[in-house]
Structure formats: C-alpha cells, structure tokens
Amino acid sequence: MILTLKIWRQNNSTAKGAFATYKLDDVSPEMSFLEMLDSLNKRLVEEGKDPVAFDHDCREGICGSCGMYINGHPHGPVPAITTCHLSMRYFRDGETIWVEPWRAKPFPVVKDLIVDRSAFDKIQIAGGFISVNTGSAPEANSIPVNKKNSDAAFDSSICIGCGACVAACKNASAILFVSAKISQFALLPQGRIEAKERVRAMVEKMDELGFGNCSNTGACEAECPKQIKLTNIARLNREYYKAY
Amino acid sequence: MEKLISKIPEGPLSQKWTRYKASVKLVNPANRKKLEIIVVGTGLSGASAASSLGELGYQVKVFCYQDSPRRAHSVAAQGGINAAKNYQNDGDSVYRLFYDMIKGGDYRAREANVYRAAEVSNEVIDHFTALGVPFARDYGGTLDTRSFGGVQVSRTFYAKGQTGQQCLLGCYSSLNRQVKKGSVKMFPRREMLDLVLIDGRARGIITRNLITGEIERHGAHAVVLATGGYGTIYYLSTLAVNSNASAAWKAYRKGAFFANPSFVQIHPTCVPQLNEFQSKLTLMSESLRNDGRMWVPKNKGDKRPANDIPEEQRDYFLERRYPAFGNLVPRDVGSRAIKERCDAGFGVGKTGLAVNLDFRDAINKQGKKAIEDKYGNLFEMYKTITGSDPYNEPMLIYPAGHYTMGGLWVDYELMTTIPGLYAIGESNFSDHGANRLGASSLMQAAGDGYFILPNTISNYLADQIRIPSISTDKAEFEETEKEAIGRLDKLVSIKGKQTAGSFHKRLGKIMWDLVGMSRNEAGLNKALKMIHDLQDEFWRDLSIPGGWKELNMELEKAGRVADFFELAQLIITDALNRKESCGAHFREEYQTPDGEAMRNDEDFAYVAAWEYTGEGSQPVLHKEALKFEEVEMKVRSYK
C-alpha cells in the first residue's frame, strides 16, 4: 500500500504544532497502525531525524497507553478497538490519513501524539478505591454478590483509561471514565459503604481539573474502545443525587 | 556456596511462615514514618507492596516508566489467579497447590518459598474481593473457579479473560488510596538508570525523567525491585514492548546474584507471527485449553481448511501423548509438543508454524452462549488480530516467549544478595522453579507484595531506625549518577546508521532460534558468538537522533537493548552449564527416547546463582542446593 500521512508534530506543550506530511510506499495491510508508525520511525531514525513520539506499551488493547485521533476518530475509524489493534487492512491504497493527539484542555500535549493524562490518575486518587487495609479483608465468600450485579460491575470495570471518551467529547467531559469506576463500586456491596464520599470526591476533582460538562451527545460511548455504556453515566447521576 | 544464605526458618514446612512471623523483628509505628522505601515498578507486586507499606506507615516512593501505574504489564494477564480455597470440594488444599507448583516447576524451586506462596494465596483472594475486584461468580453469589494446566482441581479465580487487568486495577486503587493519604509518592515516566550502594547496602536509585530527560537522585533505607521479567529479550513475545530487564540488570552489575536466567517459559497458545513487521505476539489464555482441543492433520502437508478435514484424519496430539492431562498439560510440555509436530511437518497455516485450537466440540456440547461467557473477549481479540472467527473455525496458535522463572536471587525474606535490596514478583527467581504453572504469577506477585514483603522487610528495617534520611549529596550518589550519564553520553554519541529496534529484532531472532524452546551445546555456543558480534556492531553503528536531556524514546530503547545483549550472554552461560533438561529448559542432548525431558537430580538439583565479576569477565557460579524434605523428587509425568 502507498499512504500519505499527515501527522501532528509539536515539540512540547508550549510550542506551536503543525501537520507534517510523510509518504510511505511499502505498507503491508497485515501491519497494525502502530507497526506502520514503527516503520516510519525506523526510516526517520536511519535518516538521523526526530521520530514521531507516541505512547504505546502492551500492544494488545489492554494497557490503555496508545491513543490518537485518526481520520477524525479516537483510535481510528473501526469501532471497539484500540489503536494498537487497528489493522492497516481497514485503509485504502493511496489514502491520506490524518493523525492527531487527543485534544482536550486537561490533557496538554507533551510531544507530537503524546498527551499528559495524569488528570485521570488524580480523579482515581480522589476516591476510586475501597478503603480496606491489607490483612483486614473478610473471607471472600462471606460477601455474596448477585451474579447479575457482579457481571454488570465487571462490564463497568474494564475501562482502560485511554482517554478516548474525553477526546471524543465536544466538551472534553470525563464523565464516562468517572462513571465507570463509580458504577463498578455502586453495584457491589463492598463499595456501598463509602459510596457517597466517593462520588462527591471524584466528581468534584473532575470539575476542578477542567473537564467539561456532559451534554448527553453520546460520542464517548460511540468511540470507547471497550464499549463502556452510557448507563454508567445515568448511574453516576443517581449516585450523585443520593450523595447530597 | 558460603555467600548464599537462604534464611529458611527451622521447623516443619507448614509451620515455617507462622513461626517466622512470630519471631521477626518489628518496627514500631512511630519509627516507620522515619523510614523511606523505594519501590520500582507498579505491576501487581510493586503496587501491592507500595500500598501495604504505605498502610503500615512507611514513607514510600514508587516509580514506573509508563504515564500511569495502571499500565504495568500485569494488566495483560488473562486467565486467572490460583488459590487453595477448595470451594469446589475437589480435594484442593494448601499442600496440593504447593505440590502442584513444585512438580510443575520440575523440582527446581525452593520448597519453603513455594509453600508460603500457596499459604498466602487464600488471603490474596479475600483481599482482592474486598477491594471490589469483580471475579466471576455463580448464581448463588459465591465465587466461581476454573481449571488450568498441570493440575487436576479447579482453583483458578477469574474475571473473564481480563483477570490481570482487574487485579492490577485493584492494586492501583489501593495504591491511589495511599497516594491520597500522603504515605506513598508516585513518580511516573521515570526509568531507573542505576542502583546506589553506600557501604554495600542499597540506599537509593538514579532515575531519568522520560519527559524532560532530567537525571534525578532518590535515597531510601531500602529499595524494592518489582520490575517484572525479561521475556522481551526474544523481541517478539507476549510482553509489553517496553518491558525490560534493565533495573534487574543494573542490580546484578552492582552485586545482586542472578539466578537460573535460562529458565524462560515459552507459552504454548499465542497468535502466530503473521508478518515480518510484527512487534509483538498476543497471548491466547491457557484457560482456552479447558474447552479447546489441539490438533493437526494426520496427513503431512494437508492444506485443506480445518473444517474440511474429517474427524478420523485429525491428530489430537496432546490427548494422544498425555491421556491423563490431555489438553491441560503444563506449558512447557505443551509448547514442546506443538514444536515437535510443526518441526515434523504437520503444522498448519500459511507458514506451517501453527496448530489448531478447536472449540467445535465444546460449542456443540455447551452452546455458543456458554463459550462466549467464558472466553468472549478472547475470541473477539483473536478475530480483531487475524480476521478469522474462532466460533466458526479453529484458532491457529503457536508458542511465544512469555514468562521468566529466572530472576534476581532472593532469600526467604525476598532480599537479594545486596543488603537492603529486595526483588518481588516476576523479577525474582524463587517460586516457579524451571516452569511456572498457569495462574500462579498473579498469585505470587500479589502474595509477595501484599503479604510477604511487608512482613519480612521489617526484619531489616528494624536495624535501620537510627539511620537518618539518606542524603543524596553523598559521594556515592554523585559517582553513580556520573556513571549513568556516561553511559547515556556513550549511546547518543555513536551516531551510526541502525535503529535500536533493528538490533533488538536481530538479537531476538538468535535467541528464539538457538536459545528458545530447545537448546543444544553447539547452538548455544554459536549464539554466544553471534550475539557478541552483534553487540560490537551495536556499539559501532547505533543511531539515536537527539540527546538525553529531552524526551527520547530511541534512547530508552537503546539502553534496554544494550542490557539485553549482556543478559543474553548470561542466559546462554547458564543454559550451557545446566547439562540436563528440566521444565522449560530443554537440552536436546538430555531427553528420553520418546522425547521427554531428562532431569539430572544428582548433579543439578541446585539453583544456579551468578555473580557479576566485571565487564568482559566470566561470571562466577554459586550453587544453592535444593533440599526436598516434604516431597519426593520424581520423574514428572503427565501421561
């Protein structure tokens, strides 16, 4: 495949960025999107030029490191997968592909396609935990959990913290991310004990960090690589009203 | 010999840990807050250790190279986590879990450590459940389990195919709680460049901030490495592509012994390599072997689509060779059996380097829904990668480098041969012998971090309470920082033509071909020479644009590859020394007539711990004899 890449290059958070154009003429449809970028970087390094910086690690869709805007979609045009799982067979020979970092005020650009997502950690630090010290847990089966609730908690818990929901949202809202953790614990008896404090702390932190409000457009759900559902947001709202 | 004091407590095996805890020195709460501990790595062992130590009141500093601790590679573990709960009433017990691990590890692990790992496994499950980890449940609300390879009970707790993710997020949440309390300070995007020793004790680390390039000094009363394994030495492996051995390697160069480096697990069920650009191989969980049946055509070179090959022309080779365990043989046995069939020309797929993993029978018997409930996300992942649907045709799978049983030598307290330096989780060698059983890595990592290290580290720290906060102005920090910068300068000033990744790929190919699933003396010697030459070429022709005082991912890769060259040579030295086949270490010269591993207990029932003796000089071998008081060493059979 022959491809033209328009990639956002930006040296640091304060520098002015711009699209740079690269031509690749030996892309295999069997490559993943990141392997295609690897091949570009290999060429750049061999020419002594600065390679395109992007975050990546597990390359199997679970660590949440990778993420970039590809042709106007977080993680590219194929639903329910991360960038590392995006195969080049989904692109056409001769196509021009636009690649950008997440764009959201709380996620400043670090370099090129790398953004600073530490705001997500800060929200989890505010309350995304159950306060139990090592050694003080009861016997596991002494806390029975209805299978339906347990399965639903699992469905909420599989968020990988990649930030696609924020990037997709016109308001840069983090509500889907926050609601996934709130939901997981709201559905489990272990999590009920601190439910009020948790939802207050996490929502307050989310607002403080500059994430926008939710206006129910649902772009987050549509673009989430793990298909986290909007029902989580409804549950967060319920939990939030109950907390005051 | 005299340098390896394993500190195994006296008394019967089942009493050792209890007695140890009753007599270990403690640090009182007022003194704990004066003591600083560094933890490197935030996977299951690092995050659990840091949070537990924080709960106890120590001042903890945690480091990881990723942008968030939640991304450590424990996140990718799929199938499950073992515990001896015996919820299924199928005869399980702490003893049986211990026995299965000792046998699975082919009698090359230390009895006392393994027994303790089995002992704390139940507490690990209790703790994760209390933290809100959504393990699979039965309709009555109790926890469900499944079977894994190498055992005949059902003791594996799971959360679909994302058990590692769920456990890691549990650890991440307990870590966050301590960060909020202020007992733990988190340093993401940091790479450990070296270990700082003062008067022979571990007193700090030198790190590089991966965003700014800034070199930083961090002091502490003790240092804990929780830096995982070195499977990426094969370039293509199931590990995260940035996983590396550098922290452990720097510790080795500073005097920590490295144990059994040649014990590397090749996982049998991975998506085969599809092309030459590939950057990693994706694991398909061992749990799939509960319902998937492995087969190849009985006729050599049969290229028909799998579904067109009639039943009588299929060779279910694991069921044929190992009727007692069938598809659930341990990983090393499974991997070799697959390699044997493919080498003999019965492999399938485009390259012939694959076998079928077929769910047809399970789907017919249990229904598609039941299979989807158990493996839904794995099937989807497989389809995403390959474009083929495992509900309709068999998965194609082939072995890949996965887990390293070898690692830094530690005593019963998980301390390395450097006083004050600990190694936990995959970065140490202690619990899995020559082969790890499935679902015991999460178990060991969380057990080490939550329940073992917090108890053993006080024995050392109790004597450190009079040592004030470690000043990083000391000459030792100055000196170590200078060395680290010197190494960075050397890498960026080569100004050659080839990328670090291309060297890594070539190194990986040598390792896979000659130091992989089976090894022989001639091949190992050949690999040693090839790696030596490649290493020379690396230091002559490496290209890194830019310098070290900035974000520079090529430099990060190069530093890791430079260490892999050295580690590869130690792996080969160890493999050459171990003139027997045991577990994952298969020396072709030592096998039975039907191709099974032939152990040599008389000469090799020991842990090989290697001591660094300087650049270009041969490492010195120290032997820790393995004494089996509780179990009898038998020929491991799964037939």
Residue B231 belongs to domain with CATH number: 3.50.50.60
Q: Give the per-residue pLDDT at B286.
A: 87
Domain-ending residue, one of A104, A126, A156: A104
Buried b (16+ CB within 10 A) or exposed e, B40-56: bbbbbbbbbbbbbbbbb
β B201-209/B215-219 pair status:
antiparallel
- In this structure, are B447 and B536 located in the same domain? no
CA-based nearest distance A102→chain B, Å: 15
- The range of the structural domain enclosing residue A221 comes to 117-242
Sorted by sequence, the CB contacts under 8 Å of residue B373 that are 6+ apart come out as none
- Structural contact between residues B603 and B83, judged by C-beta atoms closer than 8 angstroms: no
User: How far from A196 is each of A45, B128, B193, B617, CA to CA, in Å?
Assistant: 52, 22, 43, 62
Average pLDDT over residues B268-284: 91
Determine whether the interchain pair B554/A128 forms a contact, defined as Cβ–Cβ distance below 8 Å.
no
With a cut of 90, say whether residue B150 has pLDDT above it. no
Q: How far is it, in rounded angstroms, from Cα B639 to Cα B635?
A: 11
Is B494's Cβ below 8 Å from some Cβ in A?
no
3-class secondary-structure state, position B267? strand
Is residue B4, in this structure, part of any structural domain at all?
no
With a cut of 80, say whether residue A194 has pLDDT above it. yes
Is residue A86, in this structure, part of any structural domain at all?
yes
**Looking at the DSSP assignment, which residues form a beta bridge with residue A74?**
A69
Q: Give the per-residue pLDDT at A200.
A: 98
- In this structure, are B397 and B408 located in the same domain? no
Determine whether the interchain pair B70/A56 forms a contact, defined as Cβ–Cβ distance below 8 Å.
no
Annotation marks residue B110 as catalytic: no
Domain-ending residue, one of B387, B402, B417: B402
Average pLDDT over residues B171-192: 98
Determine whether the interchain pair B75/A124 forms a contact, defined as Cβ–Cβ distance below 8 Å.
no
Q: What is the mean pLDDT of chain B?
A: 96
| Chain B residues close to A42, C-beta within 8 Å | 499, 501-502
pLDDT band at B423 (very low <50, low <70, confident <90, very high): very high
- In this structure, are A163 and A199 located in the same domain? yes
How many Cβ atoms are within 10 Å of B419's Cβ, its own excluded?
A: 15
Please name the member of B87, B137, B172 whose beta carbon is closest to the beta carbon of A147.
B137
**Element housing B203 (H / E):** strand B201-209
Q: Which of B331, B360, B560, B587 is catalytic?
A: B331
User: How far from B535 is each of B90, B235, B442, B532, CA to CA, in Å?
Assistant: 53, 15, 34, 5
pLDDT band at B227 (very low <50, low <70, confident <90, very high): very high
- In this structure, are A74 and A162 located in the same domain? no
- In this structure, are A127 and A176 located in the same domain? yes
Sorted by sequence, the CB contacts under 8 Å of residue A17 that are 6+ apart come out as A8, A9, A10, A11, A109
With a cut of 60, say whether residue B2 has pLDDT above it. no
Is B274's Cβ below 8 Å from some Cβ in A?
yes
**Element housing B384 (H / E):** helix B368-386
User: How far from B8 is each of B116, B120, B535, CA to CA, in Å?
Assistant: 11, 17, 40
Q: How far is it, in rounded angstroms, from Cα B274 to Cα B271?
A: 8
Q: How far is it, in rounded angstroms, from Cα B501 to Cα B357?
A: 32
How many domains does chain B contain in total? 3
Contact residues, B window 60-119, toward A, CB-based 8 Å cutoff = 66-71, 73, 75-76, 85, 87
How many domains does chain A contain in total? 2
> Can you state the angle between helices B553-577 and B521-541, rounded to 10 degrees?
160
Please name the member of B166, B450, B497 whose beta carbon is closest to the beta carbon of A46.
B497
What the block records as the tokens of B627 is 């004494």
Share of chain B above pLDDT 70, in %: 100
What the block records as the tokens of B30 is 């007022």
- Residue closest to B605 by CA, chosen among B627, B621, B589, B620: B627
Ramachandran angles phi, psi of B144, nearest 5°:
-95, 160
Determine whether the interchain pair A144/B140 forms a contact, defined as Cβ–Cβ distance below 8 Å.
yes
| Chain A residues close to B495, C-beta within 8 Å | 48
Determine whether the interchain pair B134/A138 forms a contact, defined as Cβ–Cβ distance below 8 Å.
no
Is residue A15, in this structure, part of any structural domain at all?
yes
- The range of the structural domain enclosing residue B348 comes to 267-402
> Can you state the angle between helices B500-514 and B553-577, rounded to 10 degrees?
20
- In this structure, are A100 and A55 located in the same domain? yes
- Residue closest to B387 by CA, chosen among A197, A220, A87, A10: A87
With a cut of 90, say whether residue A179 has pLDDT above it. yes
**Residues B278-311: pLDDT tens digits?**
999 999 988 899 999 999 999 998 999 999 999 9
With a cut of 90, say whether residue B595 has pLDDT above it. no
ipTM score for this prediction: 0.98
Q: Give the per-residue pLDDT at B377.
A: 83
The rounded radius of gyration (Å) of the Cα atoms in chain A is 20
Is B501's Cβ below 8 Å from some Cβ in A?
yes
Please name the member of A41, A59, A128 whose beta carbon is closest to the beta carbon of B241.
A59
DSSP E strand boundaries for B298-428: 314-315, 355-358, 395-404, 407-408, 421-423
Residue of B nearest to A155 (CA): B134
Q: How far is it, in rounded angstroms, from Cα B197 to Cα B484?
A: 14
- In this structure, are A125 and A100 located in the same domain? no
Q: How far is it, in rounded angstroms, from Cα B225 to Cα B415?
A: 10
pLDDT band at B275 (very low <50, low <70, confident <90, very high): confident
- In this structure, are B502 and B565 located in the same domain? yes
- In this structure, are B275 and B255 located in the same domain? no
Please name the member of B278, B385, B543 whose beta carbon is closest to the beta carbon of A46.
B543
Q: How far is it, in rounded angstroms, from Cα A76 to Cα A86?
A: 7
Q: How far is it, in rounded angstroms, from Cα A235 to Cα A237?
A: 5
- In this structure, are B511 and B457 located in the same domain? no
- Structural contact between residues B251 and B225, judged by C-beta atoms closer than 8 angstroms: yes
pLDDT band at B224 (very low <50, low <70, confident <90, very high): very high
Average pLDDT over residues B561-589: 97
pLDDT band at B3 (very low <50, low <70, confident <90, very high): confident
Residue A95 belongs to domain with CATH number: 3.10.20.30
Is residue B204, in this structure, part of any structural domain at all?
yes
**Residues A148-158: pLDDT tens digits?**
999 999 999 99
Q: Give the per-residue pLDDT at B1.
A: 42
Share of chain B above pLDDT 90, in %: 93
Domain-ending residue, one of A70, A104, A138: A104
Is residue A37, in this structure, part of any structural domain at all?
yes
